């Protein structure tokens, strides 16, 4: 290993308390989403931190009070060497008033070898480790040949996809590393899309007409939208079972492709036949599938069920997929991410993990989702690699192990150095 890097790895151990304090500082910024619109202060901090390390800063509001910050440090030989995006979200999971935190969710402390506080695992620990690695490289006067881009984004917890906005703004690289919760596994992910299915009657009927809809000779062509939605829910359950039998993906247990009927809304009053019913569903799909594909599969299947029902055939269900915010339009999309194990960056990260930590690296699949799939949508090779476990993420007294924070910082520092020194010709 490069002697300069060996010295920096020793500094990470020696200056561990600085890393802990940086993690605590990030946690102290109260950035839960929902309610969101509260990340301006932390993003100002991140921007200033990067600026001191020689980055040019691009900051813009994705939503009022929720800006993205992108720092760019141009390499001294950008045209000949690989570029890297490091990506992380500064919003954290929501907090309820009745949760029994030992201090407070944004009053971090260290206990039993863990940093405790909301976002410690998901994912301010990852951001802190990456920022500390960048600081050490800067202090050592190391000039990277390739470009380094740091994306500090908002909105991941509520589907507002600050990462998507970075991609739309034109930020690109030879590889992107999302430093989100992965227990130091190199991971891809499946995807998630939400959708609304609506059944609507063209007429509204008094509930006294129900007998005419149900009994012989009534001759009233009408139906309860709620009852017709029951058929659709049964159809979704059949399709979910079919997917469980027919679809598999290496690294996932069978049956990960699920269709969750999460929320149902319908009817207007007890004196009316329900003339509208809306079902909110959450669909999980495998890394080799797209959200467009699974939405089409569901629509096709449900339309066949509707065609077999006389009333639904005349009043077919309507579909609305995805959205840009669970807060604003009650919808979200998380594209899937397949990790190419043969990609040079993945091989480099795999090797550096083993050489730095002296234990075998793991490449597998996250059971949850991150913003990482947006890189796949924009044809940017990517992977997830960060400290913290999903068991700790979003939990009361959320925490991340100091030992793992240190280990992550060592690996990310060596990866930044090695990848940005890799020739584009390789």
Instruction: pLDDT tens for the chain, 426 residues: list them.
Output: 689 999 999 999 999 999 999 999 999 999 999 999 999 999 999 999 999 999 999 999 999 999 999 999 999 999 999 999 999 999 999 999 999 999 999 999 999 999 999 999 999 999 999 999 999 999 999 999 999 999 999 999 999 999 999 999 999 999 999 999 999 999 999 999 999 999 999 999 999 999 999 899 999 999 999 999 999 999 999 999 999 999 999 988 889 999 999 999 999 999 999 999 999 999 999 999 999 999 999 999 999 999 999 999 999 999 999 999 999 999 999 999 999 999 999 999 999 999 999 999 999 999 999 999 999 999 999 999 999 999 999 999 999 999 999 999 999 999 999 999 999 998
In contact, 217 and 401? CB cutoff 8 Å: no
Strands 191-200 and 318-321: antiparallel
In contact, 423 and 82? CB cutoff 8 Å: yes
Tell which phi-psi region holds residue 190, choosing left (phi > 0), alpha (psi between -120 and 50) or beta.
beta
In contact, 133 and 412? CB cutoff 8 Å: yes
- The pLDDT assigned to 253 comes to 86
Q: Read off the pTM.
A: 0.94
pLDDT per residue over 65-112, tens digit each? Answer: 999 999 999 999 999 999 999 999 999 999 999 999 999 999 999 999
With b for 16 or more beta-carbon neighbours within 10 A and e for fewer, the 56-72 pattern comes to ebbeeebbeebbbbbbb
Q: 145: closest CA among 88, 84, 57?
A: 84
Which of the residues are catalytic? Answer: 91, 156
pLDDT per residue over 362-375, tens digit each? Answer: 999 999 999 999 99
Q: What is the DSSP string of 142-196?
A: PPPSS-EEEEEE--GGGT--HHHHHHHTT---SEEEE--SSTT-EEEE-EEEEEE
- The pLDDT assigned to 426 comes to 81
Q: What is the DSSP string of 326-359?
A: TTTTS--EE--B---TTSHHHHHHHHHHHHHHSS
The chain-wide mean pLDDT, for the chain, equals 97
- The pLDDT assigned to 251 comes to 85
- The pLDDT assigned to 177 comes to 98
Domains and CATH numbers, the chain: 3-189+337-420 (3.40.630.10), 191-321 (3.30.70.360)
CA separation for the pair 35, 263 (Å, rounded):
20
SS in 3 state form for 46-107? HHHHHHHCCCEEEEEEEECCEEEEEEEECCCCCCCECCEEEEEECCEECCCCCCCCCCCCCC
């Amino acid at each position: 290993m490069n002697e300069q890097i060996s010295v920096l790895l020793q500094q990470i151990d020696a200056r561990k308390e600085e890393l802990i304090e940086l993690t605590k500082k990030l946690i102290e910024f109260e950035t839960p989403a929902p309610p969101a619109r509260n990340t301006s202060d932390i993003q100002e901090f991140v921007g200033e931190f990067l600026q001191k390390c020689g980055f040019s800063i691009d900051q813009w509001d994705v939503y009022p009070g929720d800006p993205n910050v992108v720092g760019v440090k141009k390499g001294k030989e950008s045209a000949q060497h690989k570029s890297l995006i490091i990506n992380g979200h500064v919003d954290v999971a929501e907090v309820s008033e009745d949760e029994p935190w030992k201090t407070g969710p944004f009053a971090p402390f260290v206990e039993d070898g863990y940093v405790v506080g909301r976002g410690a695992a998901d994912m301010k620990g990852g951001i802190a480790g990456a920022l500390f690695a960048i600081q050490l490289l800067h202090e050592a006067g190391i000039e990277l040949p390739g470009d380094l881009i740091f994306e500090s984004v908002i909105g991941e917890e509520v589907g507002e996809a600050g990462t998507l906005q970075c991609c739309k703004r034109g930020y690109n690289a030879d590889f992107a590393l999302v430093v989100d919760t992965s227990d130091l596994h190199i991971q891809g992910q499946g995807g998630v899309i939400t959708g609304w299915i609506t059944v609507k009657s063209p007429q509204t009927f008094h509930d006294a007409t129900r007998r005419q809809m149900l009994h012989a000779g009534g001759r009233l062509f009408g139906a309860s939208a709620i009852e017709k939605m029951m058929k659709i829910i049964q159809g979704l359950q059949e399709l979910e079972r079919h997917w469980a039998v027919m679809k598999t993906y290496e690294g996932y247990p069978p049956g990960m492709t699920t269709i969750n009927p999460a929320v149902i809304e319908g009817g207007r009053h007890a004196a009316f036949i329900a003339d509208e019913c809306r079902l909110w569903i959450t669909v999980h799909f495998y890394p080799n599938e797209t959200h467009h594909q699974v939405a089409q599969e569901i629509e096709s299947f449900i339309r066949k069920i509707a065609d077999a029902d006389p009333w639904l055939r005349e009043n077919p269900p309507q579909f609305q997929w995805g959205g840009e915010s669970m807060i604003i339009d009650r919808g979200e999309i998380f594209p899937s991410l397949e990790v190419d194990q043969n990609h040079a960056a993945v091989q480099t990260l795999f090797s550096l993990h083993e050489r730095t930590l002296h234990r075998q690296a793991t490449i597998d699949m996250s059971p949850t989702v991150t913003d990482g799939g947006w890189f796949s949508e924009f044809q940017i090779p990517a992977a997830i690699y960060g400290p913290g476990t999903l068991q700790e993420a979003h939990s009361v007294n959320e925490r991340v192990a100091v030992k793992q924070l240190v280990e992550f910082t060592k690996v990310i520092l060596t990866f930044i150095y090695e990848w940005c020194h890799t020739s584009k010709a390789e």
